[in-house]
Amino acid sequence: MTRSSAPGKIYLFGEHAVVYGEPAVPCAIERRARVDVERREDSKLRVRAEDLSLDGFTVEYGGGTDGRPDIDVPNELVEAAMGYVDGAIEQVREVTGESEAGFDVTIESDIPLGAGLGSSAAVVVAAIDAATRELGVTLSTDELAERAYQTELDVQEGQASRADTFCSATGGAVRVEGSDCQSITAPDLPLVIGFDGGAGDTGALVAGVRSLRSEYDFAAETVSSIGDIVRRGETALENADVEELGRLMNFTHGLLSALGVSSRSLDSMVWAAREAGAHGAKLTGAGGGGCIVALDPTPETETALRYLPGCEEVFRAEMAEEGVRRLE
């Protein structure tokens, strides 16, 4: 049996705009998905999911990964828990040349699903790494990131960017612009995460921005403005100017709200963080529900969010300098 883990992430800047070739800067955080993989004697795939914002379940099926098991779990949760695993295993079979390999896969995660913290990317990166190693192949970090991206691209019907999977595979802070991905230096940021307990529909949110962008020139200009903020944010990171980073995060949240991807709960958490004295706060990820990220070295933002109706969880996040971690 092999085990790998990979971190989740937050976006400092660039979500949604990165889909259109603008730069983005995500940072890996120490909330991880862990995947255990053991080869089977047959070609079946058995998936056990735990702690994925679900009560946990186990499914087993065979004859390829294009079918869906008959289990008493809502279809969207089955898709969330298994769709990315299916794609990851197809990548493993392709890269190893073992087209009939079957696996027992166990997933544990402390990254909430669909909340903007990169849960799917972390699961895919860890699953590909563990399963290839189970078959005696160890991928380079770059190839692991690329194959994880191809998995997300397929599952998300061409709407994915390389940002999440590259960040999860490499760790630290990264800059992504189109196909160009590179690690960058960032100071140790005082990250506070607020979670409303919900999840946005990434596909619908991305499609909504695409529709606005094609219909209105000012929506396209808004997307470009997010890219401009990313470029200014890179300078602030280089200078370790946390106050400027916060101001730019505030601008970004306003632009994302204008594009229709925020929500009442996200806005409430953002304003609670700002009123508590945070340098800045914004939604992170696709939006529509899920998480916000704030910069505050004091305990004030944590306290404010903890007592805010509609905020289900709040925690301070450490940056994860290590990406994929090979545990066994």
Catalytic residues: 164
CA distance 193 to 208: 25
Q: Which tokens sit at 224?
A: 């470009």
The DSSP annotation for 269-296 comes to HHHHHHHTT-SEEEE-SS-SSSEEEEE-
**Is the distance from CB of 269 to CB of 310 less than 8 angstroms?**
yes
- In terms of Cα–Cα distance, which of 259, 176, 257, 161 is closest to 210? 259
Beta strands at 280-283 and 103-109: parallel, antiparallel or unpaired: unpaired
Return the number of other C-beta atoms located less than 10 Å from residue 42's C-beta: 10
Bridge partners, residue 32, by sequence: 7
Which residue shows structure tokens 């289990």?
Answer: 71
CA distance 46 to 293: 35
Containing H/E element for 73? none
Q: Give the CA distances from residue 242 to residues 24, 167, 249, 287, in Å, rounded to whole numbers and listed in that order.
A: 18, 21, 10, 23
Bridge partners, residue 49, by sequence: 57, 107
